[in-house]
Amino acid sequence: MNEAIAEKLDIGALNSPKNFCIADLGCSVGPNTFAAVEIIIEAVKSKYDQSQSLSSQIPQFQVFFNDHVSNDFNMLFTSLPQDKQYYAAGVPGSFYERLFPEASLHFVHSCSSLHWLSRVPEEVTNKNSPAWNKGRIHYANSRDEANRAYKAQRERDMDKFLQLRAQEVVHGGLMLVNFNFNLNGTHPSQCVSNLNLDLIGSSLMDLARKEMEAAVERNEYFSIERMETLPSQRPGNDGNQSLDHQMAAHVRAGMEDTITQHFGEDIIDEFLDLYRKKIREISIPFIAKSAGGIGEFLLLVLKRKY
C-alpha cells in the first residue's frame, strides 16, 4: 500500500485539497480497518513531505467507514484509536449502491470484501430454472448453468461497483482493493475458498483475474496501475488451536451475523459444531492435498482517469 501511494498518487493533480477524504468499504468492526487507514494516512503524509512545494499544505484527513446497516458501528467507533489523526464517520449501506457525493473521495480502500455478491442469482433459487442449485451451499460440482448464473451476477456487480466509484472518486484519485480470486480457468470444484451461501441469503464468488481486467476495460473511467497476486493465508499456523477450531473461528467472525439473521441465534453453536466435524472428516485432507494454493488474493490499484 505504501508503495502504491508513493508511486501512483499524484497529489499535484488533486488541486491541493484542504480535506483528504478516504473511504474504507466493507470495514467490519476493526481493528484491521484502523491499521489500514493509518498506513494510508502515513503514506499520503510522506508523499506531501516529499513534494517540497506542498509540504506545508498537508491536509486534514476525513475517513468514512462503510459497511452494511447490520454492521456493529457502535463496536467500531468504541474501538477507534484514541490517537487517531483523522475525523471519522460511519456510512452504512451496500457498496453496490451510491454512498458519497460526486467527486468527493481521494482514496478508496476495500479489503476482502469484493468477493461478496450483492445478491444470490435468482436462477439458482428458482426450482423451475436449469440453474437451480438444489441442496447446495456451494457451487463446486454444481451444474454449468449455476456457474454461469453466478458469473453473470459477478459481472453485473463489478460493473455497478466501478460505475458508482467512478462518480465518487476525484480525477486522479486512487482505489486499492484486494479480494479472493480464481486463477484463470480453474474449475470451481478445485477451489478451497469458493463458498456461495445461497441458502443463507448471501454469496461469495472468486473472481478470475481476466474478468477483473475486462470489467475495468468496460468501465473506461479507471486505469489499472498495478495488479498482482498474493498467496492466500491458509489456517493451520496457530499452534494453540487445531485446524477445525481455527476455521470455525473464521466462519464465526465473518458469517455469524448473516447466519443468525436467516436461521436464528439458537442454531449457531450447533452449526459450528457440525462444521468442525466436517472439517475433520473432509476438509483437512483436501486442504493438505492442495497446499500449493489454488485460491489467491488479487491486489488491484486503480486510478480515476482525468
Judged on CB neighbours under 10 Å (0-12, 13-18, 19+), 102 is exposed
Q: Is residue 221 part of a domain?
A: yes
Domain containing 269: what range?
236-290
Asked whether residue 94 falls in the same domain as residue 226, the answer is: yes
- Give the count of beta carbons closer than 10 Å to the beta carbon of residue 173: 24
Q: Is residue 56 part of a domain?
A: yes
Vertex 290 angle, CA 284 and 291, to 5°: 90
What are the C-alpha distances in Å from 241 to residues 44, 233, 236, 245, 270? 39, 16, 8, 6, 19
- Residue matched to cell numbers 473472481: 207
d(C-alpha 45, C-alpha 67), whole Å: 26
Could you tell me the CATH number of the domain that includes residue 65? 3.40.50.150
56: pLDDT confidence band, cut at 50, 70 and 90?
A: low
Asked whether residue 159 falls in the same domain as residue 185, the answer is: yes
Asked whether residue 244 falls in the same domain as residue 117, the answer is: no
Asked whether residue 209 falls in the same domain as residue 243, the answer is: no
Q: Taking the model in full, what pTM does it have?
A: 0.78
Among the ranges 23-32, 111-120, 292-301, which has the highest mean pLDDT value?
23-32
Asked whether residue 180 falls in the same domain as residue 285, the answer is: no
Q: Is residue 129 part of a domain?
A: no
Q: Is residue 27 part of a domain?
A: yes
Total domain count, the chain = 2
For 235-291, write each residue's pLDDT tens digit: 555 555 677 788 788 777 767 777 777 677 888 888 888 888 877 776 555 555 544
Per DSSP, the residues of 214-269 read HHHHHH-SEEEEEEEEEE---S---TTS-HHHHHHHHHHHHHHHHHHHHH-GGGHH
**pLDDT for position 137:** 61
For 176-211, write each residue's pLDDT tens digit: 999 876 554 444 444 433 333 333 333 344 456 788
Q: Is residue 132 part of a domain?
A: no
Higher pLDDT: 249 or 168? It is 168
Percent of the chain with pLDDT over 90: 42
- Three cell numbers written together for 81: 484509536
The pLDDT of 22-33, averaged and rounded, is: 92
Asked whether residue 205 falls in the same domain as residue 254, the answer is: no
> Mean pLDDT of all residues in the chain?
81
Q: Is residue 147 part of a domain?
A: no
Asked whether residue 36 falls in the same domain as residue 162, the answer is: yes
Asked if 143 contacts 131 with a C-beta cutoff of 8 angstroms, the reply is: yes
Q: Is residue 93 part of a domain?
A: yes
Asked if 117 contacts 139 with a C-beta cutoff of 8 angstroms, the reply is: no
Is 157 a residue whose pLDDT tops 80?
yes
Asked whether residue 250 falls in the same domain as residue 210, the answer is: no
Asked whether residue 118 falls in the same domain as residue 244, the answer is: no
Q: Is residue 32 part of a domain?
A: yes
233: pLDDT confidence band, cut at 50, 70 and 90?
A: low
Q: Which amino acid appears at position 214 of this protein?
A: A
- Give the count of beta carbons closer than 10 Å to the beta carbon of residue 218: 12
Asked whether residue 100 falls in the same domain as residue 240, the answer is: no
Asked whether residue 160 falls in the same domain as residue 242, the answer is: no
Asked whether residue 244 falls in the same domain as residue 96, the answer is: no
Strand 222-231 relative to strand 19-25, pairing: unpaired
d(C-alpha 148, C-alpha 165), whole Å: 26
